[in-house]
Structure 1
Amino acid sequence: MAGPISKVCVIGAGTMGAGIAAQVANAGVPVLLLDIVPKEGSNRNAIAEGAVAKMLKTDPAPFMSKGAAKLVETGNIDDDLAKVAECDWIVEAVIERLDIKQALYAKLETLKKPGAAVSSNTSTIPLEKLVEGRSDAFAQDFLITHFFNPPRYMRLLELVTGPKTDAAVAGKVADFIDRSLGKSVVRAKDSPGFIANRIGTYWLQVAVNAAMDLGLTVEQADAIGGKPMGVPKTGVFGLIDLVGIDLMPLLQKSLGATLKPDDPFHATVRPIPLVDKMIADGFTGRKGKGGFYRINREAGKRKEAIDLATGDYRPSVSAQPPRDKLPALIARKDKTGEFAWGLLGAVLPYAANLVGEAADDIVAIDEAMKLGYNWKFGPFELIDQIGAANLAKRLADEGKPVPAILTTAGERSFYRIEGGKRQFLGSDGDYHDVVRPEGVLLLEDIKRTSKPLLKNGSAAVWDIGDGVACFEFTSKMNALDGETLKLIGKAVELVSTKMKALVVYNEGGNFSAGANLGLAIFAVNIAAWGEIEKLVAGGQFAYKALKYAPFPVVSAPAGLALGGGCEILLHSDAIQAHAESYIGLVECGVGLVPGWGGCGEMIDRWTKAGVLPKGPMPAVAKVFETVSTATVSKSAAEAKELMFLRKGDGITMNRDRLLADAKAKALSLVDGYAAPTPPEFKLPGVGGRTALSLAAHGFHKQGLATDYDLVVSDALAEVLTGGDADLVDVVSEQQLLELERKAFLARVRDPRTQARVETMLETGKPLRN
């Protein structure tokens, strides 16, 4: 087998191909992006170059940082195809036409180096068709790598091998996709639509048909088929709007052409004049004029929904999801129950019949749907909620075929915990351990076999082995409160006496949304100012206790790390961040200033980074610019540019590998560890504050800052410049904390701040007062 993958070529600079190239560049690996020579114009590389330029302007961004784009080399197939000889992996992402793909492979076979992998991003053409006419040597290096769109953000990668594919080549590609590109690799069989799109397209079609047959509104269908079934809040119709209504007929056509005549999918495909008209009129979903839902800007940005019977738009009326558990939901004798059973009674048996055909086991099918369609539960986890025997009985009572795997299960569940390990039921009737990839460490697995070392209502501490403890936030949105802070103090004491290091980590959707604003506003409403002061002081004390603990602390964020969640990162010895970490000190957005030491830590980082001119003002100005505008990094790479992460901090591409990487980093710091020395600040004083105020007033004149923004930014400027300190004075860390505390408490008493906090809690959006 050839060596590791150090350069990649992507052929096809459409949305998917360009996105794959961007993700390779995000991993720090050079990538060659090729497309055809345009029919017009003198620039022969215009298509590939245009794709890169477009991605730099796209939001959400395919690139994790502007710098990543520099790793993309552009070219064209006519002039530059020979450069594939430099590449260890060639990804084909051209149009879904077999003849075009096969013609390209014929050229690649003569140009690529031995052992270099070639893969197709196809989702519709069988692998055996793709390699027809190619040599055995080419077939050994060939596989399918089916990314999901957008490649940066969707975690699923379906990998398909053929009978001749070299296992070592497939393993090399799978490992690179896992560790470097951050994808969860699910092995699928060479069957139509593979796993996720096969089930997902069927599911969406069944849902649309059932909603129309039962006369439900789109809101009712999304309420029933959404939250109760663990489907994202978009529901069915919202998801179709997101992916594009015009994509549905294309998926139906491609699957319909390749599935066996007796496949239940064929029965779901029927003329829907409403959908045809919507596509013809440009109502293709979010990318078009609207879809099943739309925002009517002429009516004051009113959300509207389409009437499935008339095709007319009307004001959207929210529908409450039923609270029934699944067995009760599908047993209801009303339209809600009929729709729920119409959906689950079709989709779950369909998925069950794909064991052996689309995937080797139920785990692959469940993972594909959770990662590819963001289902909270996979099909077999949903069956466990209903009961395999109950599902089989109802299908039999209705004269419908019962999938073999349901008969194999009988009264048993598809998943169980045995000896602290999660096991799944195989087609052989025996249970098998769910095996994690090598190097993956998950807190959910640790929890099955151990009890927390410490625990309260907001946090817990776990032993993750080798003398390392893990501090986990457990409150809603992992918001931080007094209980969290108390447990930090206890954790410091525990690790100091019994362990080597501490990792701050959790497996929630977000690391932490910051301090619990709901508790804060409750305290404001009852004028419990002493409690608020105690919370601010407690946070400062707890975070400094972490910073100066006699052992290394490594924080491992993923998702949002805002406000107090960001500040705990800033007080850690090191950070190992998931690539999709969105970090920021956002307090000014709700009329506050950072109160748990964030101001001083950010000044210290910028001062010591050595990238700014010397003197007290440059670092302060940088921090003021970032914090006053509540700037949040759009990736861990961007967080480095904003100094939320330092140069030596690590970035993990695969979310499942984050805890293991953070633990390894913590252990690497143990030998010879010494707590940091408290910094002393040379700050610009009153003169610097005046300069920052002038800058803020400039934004105000341009309409970029509100009246109250000026008040808040002045409070922030006073902290950052050292209050009444003179330019020659040295400001201690403790003095800066006192300035933070004073500014925070003054702002929280202001009714304009209170209005901002209440609006954020109610709407999730900032109030511009």
Structure 2
Amino acid sequence: MTIKKAAVIGSGVMGSGIAAHIANAGIPVYLLDIVPQAVKDNGGDRSVVAKTAIDKMLKTDPAPFMHKKAASLVTPGNIEDDLEKLADVDWIVEAVLENPKVKHDLYQKLEAVRKDGSIVSSNTSTIPLSILLEGHTERFASDFCITHFFNPPRYMRLLEVVKGPKTRQDAFDTVSAFCDRVLGKGVVECKDTPGFIANRIGTYFMAVAVNEAIDGGLTVEEADAITGRPMGIPKTGTFGLIDLVGLDLMPLISKSLLSTLPADDDYRRIHRDNALANKMIAEGYTGRKGKGGFYRQTKQADGRRVKEAIDLKTGAYRASEKATLASASAKNLKALVETADAGGAYAWRVLSQALSYAADLVPQIAEQITAVDEAMRLGYNWKSGPFELIDQLGTGWFAEKLAAEGKAIPHMVKVAAGRPFYKVEGSKLLFLGTDGEYAEVKRPDGVLLLTDIKRGSKPVAKNGSASLWDIGDGVLCLEFTSKMNALDQDIMGMIRKAMGIIGDGKSGAYKALVIHNEAQNFSVGANLGLALFAINIGLWPQIEATIAEGQNTYKALKYAPFPTVAAPSGMALGGGCEILLHSSAVQAHAETYSGLVEVGVGVLPGWGGCKEMVIRHLANKRRPGGPMPALSAAFEAISTAKVAKSAFEARDMLILRPTDGITFNKDRLLADAKAKALELAANYTPPQEPEIRLPGPTAAAAFSMAVDGFAQQGKATPHDVVVSKAIGFVLSGGNTDITQVMTEDDLLTLEREGFLALTKTNGTINRIEHMLETGKPLRN
């Protein structure tokens, strides 16, 4: 069975978000909700609830839709008039109120209209499957499961799935595979237990972290400095995370867990009714969505915005202060808990309880430790799961320290008996099973991870910023390894080395190149620190040589005799975006954010970005009417540092071609890119260099007038004008006219000259310095 059409019942934040993400994947979906009583009494649009939810999503940032066109795949309706439309739907997702009676009544109605074999799932996070199925038919039970999405559904990768004893394996496999391959989710099978995996452990962790911060006399800043990056948990830390998800949500989660947890569960011991949190909620301090939370922003009389934090003892706000705990700078987890300060003691008190709790829940909540670690990485963005964290401390050390403090040794730590939960043998990653034996960590079919390849092999070539890996079948993979994958001369050198190793792609061992890495971001652009250093000491010949080297390397990549496939995820900005523009093809993760953002640091795209955007926009048959409309579109994108907020938006911006691929599941990206490279290699010929005809000074004058107009309206700063006019001069072709044929090298020369001239201005130097110091663009 395949899922070709879906429906979501309930258009709240979660339901509408699930519908939007199904539409993102190109699947038509109905979104149904109730008919409001006011509409019944007074008339009006009976589907207004669902329609309002769609309209709201189109205005929401971050956007639930990857492209506004996806909204057309969501058909609004209501459960009184439109249920019969579900007769041709393959998958129905229930996302209504967390009330068993409401759900049961809906299931009875669904059972009367749905077709044989259609799958029904609940997005519940609190009600056990056994309760959801009470009183329902065998037919319904066989097609029913739980699919617990995390909010927001587009961006959070975790999907917890639960099947019942009567659930058809085919139905469960179908929905799991769909959510994995089509929706891009990390699917984790859980048991039918309260809170499943991620919320069960995550809620416990946050409660302990709050309790121990209060008991230990730590400030919210100190607690967050410890429970954030030092533990490999998002930098928000605990109090910052609670502000993000909403203080008012925490009592609801606690109430739900307490209503279903076993009587001896340790969450009952650590749960407290927090008077300060209750007072904050009552006064509207529910976090970022309210007036503030544990942190808030206040506007001063002089217009400045000041960050404040709440005093956990008095409940009064004060100016936020940076934590100065030495433990916050610990090099590793063990060093953190052994640091002799308040932060180190706090870290141990939190981890000793939270990790013990998690280690006592297997096999109760999941069959294997791998499911628990995966759920916490994907659902709470932990860098390492609980069992991986215990390994960082050492299972033997962890057990001994617990015993020395008179604390119980958790079940799975006893099973480990001093052995690690994970170990490597040869090229295989093994995990410790509940039976005390090791087994190999298996990847789903179609998943290829560079991490696994690196574990079992040595690089074909390596330098300080990049490595080349053999990923099989004659394909090389170029991996960036510099800080934030910033591009430098070592990366340029490795691109050229890869081209030398592959040769003509026919007579040697290799026939294609994939450019990919598993970092958070593909590349944020060129190394600004090196650029600023060269500027400050006036190394103009070296700067020009560096620009020329990048241009020549990227052009060689474009015209290589073998296919090159870029496989980006996360940010691909500036020079990272220019790699996409010069590759034979792109296989992009759906959540790729790409753009030529060089104006933010006062320069123009200098490694062929201007040149490639000119070529692509001129060739774009969707924008007829001579060169000016095409050039204007390129000018707008580059001069405003426009960034595509999905791979689909990158297609609109011509960063991706219609033939470039999009992968929803990040774990499948490398395999898809490799398959595309092999497909191209079967009969590959490099592209022909185009003839370029540009208007020259007339176009440059038009761009200049437009920029001056924006400046007069206050929409462009003085240095924006300088940079934008330089971009306009390059895009117009400089001193040419429409009768002359230009080459790519002609445009590259204009790029290089424009880039170099801008680096000699104070405005650009100030922008680069400000970006390096603050991470934000300077509006000078």
Give me the TM-score of the superposition, normalised by structure 1: 0.99
Q: Could you say which residue in structure 2 is the equivalent of 1:132?
A: 134
Show CA shifts across 1:676-702 (max 9, x none): 111121111111111111121221122
Distance of 1:708 and 1:349 partners within structure 2:
56
1:724 paired residue among 735, 738, 741: 735
Distance of 1:605 and 1:456 partners within structure 2:
34
Q: Secondary structure at the match of 2:692?
A: strand
Q: CA deviation at 1:337?
A: 2.6
1:625 paired residue among 631, 636, 640: 636
1:527 maps onto 2:538 in alignment? yes
Q: Could you say which residue in structure 1 is the equivalent of 2:525?
A: 514
Give yes or no for contact 1:692–1:717 (8 Å, CA) kept in 2: yes
* Letter in structure 1 aligned against 2:257: L
Q: Could you say which residue in structure 1 is the equivalent of 2:255?
A: 253
Q: Could you say which residue in structure 1 is the equivalent of 2:398?
A: 391
Q: CA deviation at 1:113?
A: 0.8
Q: Could you say which residue in structure 2 is the equivalent of 1:558?
A: 569
Distance of 2:596 and 2:682 partners within structure 1:
32
1:212 maps onto 2:214 in alignment? yes
Give yes or no for contact 1:230–1:376 (8 Å, CA) kept in 2: yes
Distance of 1:609 and 1:752 partners within structure 2:
34
* Letter in structure 2 aligned against 1:271: D
Give yes or no for contact 1:33–1:72 (8 Å, CA) kept in 2: yes
Matches within 5 A, 1:295-694: 295-298=297-300, 300-320=304-324, 321-323=328-330, 325-496=332-503, 497-694=508-705
Q: Which runs of 5+ in 2 are unaligned?
A: none
Q: Could you say which residue in structure 1 is the equivalent of 2:706?
A: 695
1:279 maps onto 2:281 in alignment? yes
Q: Secondary structure at the match of 2:81?
A: helix
Q: CA deviation at 1:174?
A: 0.4
Change (3 A) 1:325 1:573: closer
* Letter in structure 1 aligned against 2:199: N
Give me the TM-score of the superposition, normalised by structure 2: 0.97
Give yes or no for contact 1:759–1:767 (8 Å, CA) kept in 2: yes
| Superposition CA RMSD, Å | 1.0
Give yes or no for contact 2:464–2:481 (8 Å, CA) kept in 1: yes
Distance of 2:557 and 2:568 partners within structure 1:
16
Q: Secondary structure at the match of 2:586?
A: strand
1:40 maps onto 2:42 in alignment? no
Q: Secondary structure at the match of 1:157?
A: strand
Change (3 A) 1:335 1:429: same
Distance of 1:553 and 1:483 partners within structure 2:
19
Distance of 2:201 and 2:418 partners within structure 1:
25
Q: CA deviation at 1:371?
A: 0.6
1:65 paired residue among 67, 72, 76: 67
Distance of 1:328 and 1:449 partners within structure 2:
29
Q: CA deviation at 1:514?
A: 0.5
Q: Could you say which residue in structure 1 is the equivalent of 2:204?
A: 202
* Letter in structure 2 aligned against 1:360: E
Q: Secondary structure at the match of 1:756?
A: helix
Q: Secondary structure at the match of 1:730?
A: coil
2:244 paired residue among 242, 245, 258: 242
Show CA shifts across 1:116-145 (max 9, x none): 110000000000110111111111100000
Q: Could you say which residue in structure 2 is the equivalent of 1:113?
A: 115
Show CA shifts across 1:706-757 (max 9, x none): 1111111110011001101122111111100000000000001111101001
* Letter in structure 2 aligned against 1:313: Y
Give yes or no for contact 1:503–1:662 (8 Å, CA) kept in 2: yes
Q: Which runs of 5+ in 1 are unaligned?
A: none
How many residue pairs get aligned? The number is 767
Distance of 1:514 and 1:477 partners within structure 2:
9
Distance of 1:394 and 1:91 partners within structure 2:
46
Q: CA deviation at 1:332?
A: 4.3
Q: CA deviation at 1:394?
A: 2.1
Give yes or no for contact 1:223–1:322 (8 Å, CA) kept in 2: no
Q: Could you say which residue in structure 2 is the equivalent of 1:267?
A: 269
Give yes or no for contact 2:693–2:737 (8 Å, CA) kept in 1: no
* Letter in structure 1 aligned against 2:500: E
Give yes or no for contact 1:224–1:322 (8 Å, CA) kept in 2: no
* Letter in structure 1 aligned against 2:317: Y
Q: List structure 1 segments (4+ residues) > 3 angstroms apart after TM superposition.
A: 331-334
Q: Could you say which residue in structure 2 is the equivalent of 1:293?
A: 295
Show CA shifts across 1:347-386 (max 9, x none): 0010001101111110000010111100111000010011
Distance of 2:269 and 2:594 partners within structure 1:
48
Show CA shifts across 1:594-642 (max 9, x none): 1011111112112223111142222211100100000000100000011
Q: CA deviation at 1:324?
A: 5.2
* Letter in structure 2 aligned against 1:183: K
Q: Equivalent pairs: percent with the same residue? A: 60
* Letter in structure 1 aligned against 2:31: L
Distance of 1:490 and 1:389 partners within structure 2:
46
Distance of 1:372 and 1:125 partners within structure 2:
19
* Letter in structure 2 aligned against 1:402: I
